A = this chain, B = another copy of it.
């Protein structure tokens, strides 16, 4: 679905921002970059800042007008630093991502970013079907354009992953969580030692026992960690007796 997502940068002044945007996109598996009348492109600066995403910069499509850049898109989403009072639908990035990916399953979707200083004009916004607003500090709301592209691409990528994040992690047996029985056995071992030490004479000793049990259960040691803890206890008991 991300193959159908197109990032459109309108009248970008600083080519370094184009490079940073390309990197932000590639990090999030978004690869289609359109540049509407960039001020200074191609340039060394855009390639340097792109780092390993220079392929996205090299393959960027340059157009004269925003209309050309979005002509074949089924959904065009404009970004706005301001929460406008006009009559667009303004989404948060979260719900924007869900909408965009829905459409992108079948057709190209453009997300349009304006000039560094002034954003999109009303004429450009009028070409958009919806708006997205990245929530920001009201006292300092002007995001760097590459940072805004980072947030939007992150939201898109995040939503493609839903429910698949932790699979396929290979974990060694000894790095797996200890079983309840194993933790319990360590706790027994510890309590025996504390009895030997007369550590639990106090009237609240049951409470201490229980707190330690809760601690180790909550801590969820791995098998390897539990082995170290057992070893330490065994060495201590040997020393004392």
Contacts and interface: CB of A to CB of B under 8 A. Distances in A.
Interface of A: 20, 23-24, 26-29, 51-53, 83, 85-87, 90, 92-94, 134-137, 139-144, 146-147, 150-151, 154, 157-158, 161, 165-166, 169-172, 175, 194, 197, 199, 208, 211-212, 214-216, 218-222, 224-225, 228-229, 231-232, 235-236, 239-240
A174 to B, nearest CB: 10
Q: Which 6 A-B pairs have the closest CB atoms?
A: A219-B219, A29-B137, A215-B225, A147-B150, A87-B222, A26-B140
B158 A87 contact: no
A140 B52 contact: yes
A232 B212 CA distance: 11
A34 to B, nearest CB: 20
A134 B154 contact: yes
Contacts of A228: 208, 211-212, 215
A161 B94 CA distance: 13
A199 B229 CA distance: 11
Contact of A154 (B28, B151, B199): B151
Nearest to A152: B154
A101 to B, nearest CB: 15
